[in-house]
Amino acid sequence: MGKSSQSQSRVSGSLASRIERLRERIRHHDYRYYVLNQPEISDAEYDRLLRELKALEADAPHFVTPDSPSQRVGGIPDEAFRPVRHATPMLSLDNAFTEAELLAWHERVAKGLPGLAPTYTVELKIDGVGLALTYERGQLVQAATRGDGTTGEEVTANARTVRAIPLRLSGEAPSRLEVRGEVYMATKEFEHYNAQASRAGEETFANPRNAAAGSLRQKDPSVSATRPLRFFAHSYGMVEGMRFTSHWEFLQACKRLGLPITDEARRCRSFEEAHQRCRRLEALRDRLSYEADGVVIKVNELAYQERLGMTMKSPRWAIAYKFPAHHATTQVLDVLHSVGRTGVVTPVASLAPVSCGGVTISSATLHNYEEVDRLGVRIGDWVVIRRAGEVIPQVVKVIESKRSGKERSVRPPLRCPECHGVITKEKEGEVAYRCISPSCPAQLARSVLHFGSRSAMDIEGLGDVVVEQLVSRGVIHDVAELYRLTDGDLLKLPLFAERKAQKLLDAIRASRTRGLARLLFGLGIRHVGEKAARELAERFGSMTRLTQVDQGTLEQVPGIGPVVAGAVVQFFHQPETRQLIRRLEAAGVKMTEAARSGPHPLLHATFVFTGELSSMSRSEAEALVRRLGGTASSSVSRKTTYLVAGDSPGSKLEKAKKLGVNVINEAHFKQLISQ
């Protein structure tokens, strides 16, 4: 081997070692955070380590391995949600709702184990979604939902995005292990996610369990990756290459392997001790960081479990002791229609005041109108409400036997209660009704913030506090009025001096020339993101042409399906929208874009790039594809037309070959775009 080859080999070996050391540091911090609950670094420092790893792997994609912490998000798998048969059935547990029922279960256990003194384990029953994880030689190979207990659904790609689930087990792992547990959202993280989703105009969830279930069943794993999901292990369905004599021994093995367990798990020497532990956890329930609806008690010794056996539906050696919910009964006096910052209209029950969980409740959320129909709520009904911890009170049941016949049905409003604009349910199967008027005062602050954001009209200085003052003091009533602001208007506000006022006015004036694509995105049309706005602007060239196009024509634009096309037509059909556009045009805002002209040689073709290109960057190549009528994607699928492979291609190359995708080099790509 020559000196040059030896030097390259040393550099390569050094880089591989550096990458692996970085991976181990990240796995160590995952273990400290999720298993031990003892983090050593901040989230920002963790993110810095992950960014460093991704940068190194991008420079050396041949060193990327499936279990690298950087590989949690992959493409959309073809096998998503296919049926998966569990190694052994995932049986449900019998429930005890009172202490008397719990004592009766203990008596049955004692009768089944005469003369023996079993120990017990006590674990919180997390209100989450059941998941079975299969590891082979320590590597995660499959994740499946509980389903009907015998057959679940394949959700491996989504489960890989959950940082609490190790992609590779630590230490000496069994040759094969199917571990079972719950995917959940911590309460504060759920509330934070819902608040963010509401500001962005996206779907919110009624409770953490629904949020976890919805997040785990996303068709696109990159969406799951944005959700703050966590995981606790609580049992196993099958193990090869490792033996346990007790459930507690299994739980401790989970911690060694890097699988988190509930931090409140305890081993108890007697049933009396386990019973006291249940009472202690019930008293702690409102102080937990996640929702738990009870406690699971298990006979600890596996030999005793086997001796007690199973019924047709559940094991005799375990029981779920359910916490009593905070319930109260009251009457629905009215149902109000509340308009959120994203235009979503939410029904809120106005209640006769009642004490529930130590708090006087006078209103409760009904979430959406589909939930109103499901519960059958009418104005005048007597209902059961539930309050758990700090969660917003909710109506859970109608007491139909108390109806008098004078109750009135609840219907979604036809007009927005704030602005009298059109209320719409945009597509079949969507739950939310929303006001889509661009001038709705309930949505104004969010609309103005979005309009001035960097990806839209890019108005520097138009931040949250400034917008809040402009809106709350009635200085502006829609985004067009930004362009009529004077220094006199701004100097009346507490935040502004002459220099700051002039800077904002200059930024607003400069934004007039941003062009049609950014204006369309800034208007906040439902379902129209940056990419769709660019496609529409480049395809039609002017606001005038776009507002005259019918839905069928819009659907012919690549990337604009029926949902987006319908939202665009509906938006421009409103009188309020047409008035707003006239005011923006009068203010001098540019309403045109350089329309695509000439040949579109890449029309209907989808390109994915891997490795380094010599004559252009990847982003430049993707922009070129879009300009010539094609689609640039970041992941390989059966719909990919070409994979363009540069130097040092990554794992996308192997996937493309496996799927039969046409693989071309940079020279071939340049030939295609020059036709």
Question: Does residue 275 sit within a domain?
Answer: yes
Find the helix packing angle between 464-472 and 444-451, rounded to 10°. Answer: 140
Residues 296 and 365 in one domain: no
**Percent of the chain with pLDDT strictly greater than 70:** 92
Which residue would you say has higher pLDDT here, 629 or 17?
17
Residue range 578-600, pLDDT digits in tens: 999 999 999 999 999 865 555 67
Residue range 522-533, pLDDT digits in tens: 998 888 888 889
**Percent of the chain with pLDDT strictly greater than 90:** 40
Residues 6+ apart with CB under 8 A from 277: 122, 266, 268, 295
> How many distinct helices (H) and strands (E) make up the chain?
24, 22
Q: What confidence category does residue 675 fall into, taking pLDDT thresholds of 50, 70 and 90?
A: low
Looking at residues 636-641, what average pLDDT do you find? Answer: 87
Residues 533 and 565 in one domain: yes
Find the helix packing angle between 618-627 and 666-673, rounded to 10°. Answer: 30
Q: What confidence category does residue 388 fall into, taking pLDDT thresholds of 50, 70 and 90?
A: low
Residues 198 and 273 in one domain: yes
Q: What is the DSSP letter of 413?
A: -
Q: In this structure, how many other beta carbons lie within 10 angstroms of the beta carbon of residue 208?
A: 24
Residue range 101-118, pLDDT digits in tens: 999 999 999 999 999 999
Q: How far apart are CA 394 and CA 408, in angstroms?
A: 20
Q: Which of 14, 39, 71 marks a domain boundary?
A: 71
Residue 357's domain is classified under what CATH number? 2.40.50.140
At residue 373, what are phi and psi to the nearest 5 degrees? -65, -40
Question: Does residue 134 sit within a domain?
Answer: yes
Report which of 95, 165, 92, 93 is spatially closest to residue 134, judged by C-alpha positions: 165
Per this entry, what is the length of the chain? 675
Torsion angle, alpha carbons of 319, 294, 91, 167, to 10 = -130
Residue 555's domain is classified under what CATH number? 1.10.150.20
Which residue would you say has higher pLDDT here, 504 or 78?
504
Looking at residues 462-474, what average pLDDT do you find? Answer: 87
Q: What is the DSSP letter of 186?
A: -
Looking at residues 221-239, what average pLDDT do you find? Answer: 91
Residues 6+ apart with CB under 8 A from 42: none
Residue 629's domain is classified under what CATH number? 3.40.50.10190
Is the pLDDT at 80 greater than 70? The verdict is no
| Cβ burial 507-546 (10 Å sphere, 16+ → b, else e) | bbeebeebbbbbbbbbbbbbbbeeebbbbbbbbbbebeeb
Q: What is the DSSP letter of 136?
A: E
Q: Which of 402, 428, 460 marks a domain boundary?
A: 402
* Residue 376: both structure tokens together: 């059958």
Single-letter residue type at 193: Y
Question: Does residue 29 sit within a domain?
Answer: yes
Classify residue 294 by burial, with Cβ atoms within 10 Å: 0-12, 13-18, 19+.
buried
The residue whose two tokens read 């992950």 is 50
Residues 641 and 570 in one domain: no
Single-letter residue type at 425: K
Could you write out the DSSP letters of every residue in 491-504? HTSTT--HHHHHHH
Residues 119 and 188 in one domain: yes
Is the pLDDT at 148 greater than 80? The verdict is no
Residues 589 and 448 in one domain: yes
Q: Where are the beta strands (DSSP E) in 461-516?
A: none
Residues 6+ apart with CB under 8 A from 198: 204, 340, 341, 342, 344
Task: Give the count of domains, the chain.
Answer: 5
Residue range 302-333, pLDDT digits in tens: 999 999 998 877 899 999 998 876 778 999 99
Alpha-carbon dihedral sign for residues 304, 305, 311, 316: positive
The residue whose two tokens read 């020559």 is 2
Question: Does residue 421 sit within a domain?
Answer: no
Looking at residues 65-93, what average pLDDT do you find? Answer: 76
Cβ-contact 608, 622 below 8 angstroms: no
Could you write out the DSSP letters of every residue in 538-599? HHH-BHHHHHT--HHHHTTSTT--HHHHHHHHHHHHSHHHHHHHHHHHHTT---B-----S-
Q: Any idea which residues carry the catalytic annotation?
A: 125
Q: Which of 322, 342, 362 marks a domain boundary?
A: 322
Per-residue pLDDT, 12: 59
Residues 6+ apart with CB under 8 A from 583: 478, 480, 481
Residue 38's domain is classified under what CATH number? 1.10.287.610
Question: Does residue 85 sit within a domain?
Answer: no
Per-residue pLDDT, 9: 53
Q: Which of 34-48, 398-412, 643-657 has the highest mean pLDDT?
A: 398-412
Residues 259 and 374 in one domain: no
Residue range 471-494, pLDDT digits in tens: 888 899 999 999 999 999 999 988
Coil vs helix vs strand at 141: strand
Residue range 247-287, pLDDT digits in tens: 999 999 999 999 999 989 999 999 999 999 999 998 888 78
| Beta strand pairing call for 631-633 and 95-96 | unpaired
Residues 6+ apart with CB under 8 A from 571: 436, 438, 523, 525, 526, 577
Residues 341 and 468 in one domain: no
Could you write out the DSSP letters of every residue in 266-294? EEESSHHHHHHHHHHHHHHGGGSSS-EEE
Cβ-contact 348, 335 below 8 angstroms: yes
Residues 531 and 573 in one domain: yes
Per-residue pLDDT, 429: 55
Find the helix packing angle between 3-30 and 43-59, rounded to 10°. Answer: 150
Residues 205 and 113 in one domain: yes
Question: Does residue 14 sit within a domain?
Answer: yes
Residue 138's domain is classified under what CATH number? 3.30.470.30
Question: Does residue 387 sit within a domain?
Answer: yes
Which residue would you say has higher pLDDT here, 15 or 296?
296
Residues 6+ apart with CB under 8 A from 153: 81, 82, 83, 84, 144, 145, 147, 217
Q: How far apart are CA 84 and CA 143, in angstroms?
A: 9
Alpha helices in 155-259 (DSSP H): 156-159, 187-199, 208-216, 221-224, 247-257
Per-residue pLDDT, 597: 54
Cβ-contact 615, 670 below 8 angstroms: yes
The rounded Cα 140 to chain-centroid distance in angstroms is 22
Range of the domain at 261: 95-322
Which residue would you say has higher pLDDT here, 152 or 425?
152
At residue 286, what are phi and psi to the nearest 5 degrees? -80, -10
Question: Does residue 637 sit within a domain?
Answer: yes
Neighbouring-strand partners of residue 365: 348, 394
Picking from 84-88, 181-185, 226-230, 576-580, which range would have the lowest pLDDT averaged per residue? 84-88
Q: How far apart are CA 587 and CA 576, in angstroms?
A: 17
Residues 626 and 561 in one domain: no
Residues 299 and 196 in one domain: yes
- Using alpha carbons only, give the angle 149, 228, 390 rounded to the nearest 5 degrees: 90
Q: What is the DSSP letter of 636?
A: -
Coil vs helix vs strand at 395: strand
Residue range 188-226, pLDDT digits in tens: 899 888 888 877 767 677 778 888 888 888 878 888 888
Q: How far apart are CA 537 and CA 528, in angstroms?
A: 12
Q: How far apart are CA 259 and CA 179, in angstroms?
A: 9
Is the pLDDT at 418 greater than 90? The verdict is no
- Using alpha carbons only, give the angle 521, 524, 528 rounded to the nearest 5 degrees: 60
Report which of 230, 223, 231 is spatially closest to residue 73, judged by C-alpha positions: 223
Per-residue pLDDT, 30: 80
Average model confidence (pLDDT) across the chain: 86
Per-residue pLDDT, 426: 56
Cβ-contact 233, 179 below 8 angstroms: yes
Per-residue pLDDT, 390: 46
